[in-house]
Amino acid sequence: MKSHASGQETEVLDIHDCWKYLRSASVCRVAITTDGGPEIFPVNYVPDYGTVVFRTGPGTKLDAAAGGLPVALEADGLNPYGTIAWSVIIKGTAKVVDTQEDFQEAADAGLSPWEAGSKDHLVRVTPTEVSGRRFVINAPSRWWPPLDPAGT
């Protein structure tokens, strides 16, 4: 664990722990860059053979995947007691996949659209980099400094 001046410890996760945490969550944020600047979208996903798969409809996410643009995904979570937090980031390339086998594997893994509307496109993100961290959550009394630094 790395120790910081504040006394808080942050552990850098190895690749296996990153995938373990990704399998424990079902929602992440997908970040892409468009002509208008950065965009971030929540999506539900499933890890699939070292990649991440999500469904989408026509629009910005599909355009980014069809264009082979780089993307980043971030998933976060807490342990059952709310005392330890984790965060995993995947950087990679997105690609639209459309075989029946891909759709069947995603469905078998539990991927289904959460939002109403057409989500007929499957996007697979292949990582070029996977990183993560885990840390103990400080008590709320340690989140903010006192209003009066002198303590009076």
**Looking at residues 104-114, what average pLDDT do you find?**
83
> For 25, phi and psi rounded to 5 degrees?
-120, 170
> For 135, phi and psi rounded to 5 degrees?
-155, 155
As a whole number of angstroms, the distance between CA 93 and CA 123 comes to 10
pLDDT at position 150: 61
User: pLDDT tens digit string along 19-37?
Assistant: 999 999 999 999 998 888 8
List the domain boundaries for the chain: 12-142
pTM recorded for the entire structure? 0.81
Question: Do the Cβ atoms of 76 and 119 come closer than 8 Å?
Answer: no
Short-list 27, 41, 29, 33, CA closest to 74: 29
As a whole number of angstroms, the distance between CA 63 and CA 112 comes to 20
**Looking at residues 39-54, what average pLDDT do you find?**
92
Short-list 69, 58, 7, 9, CA closest to 34: 69
12-142 CATH fold: Pnp Oxidase; Chain A (2.30.110)
Pick the more confident residue, 66 or 11: 11
Q: Is the pLDDT of residue 125 over 90?
A: yes
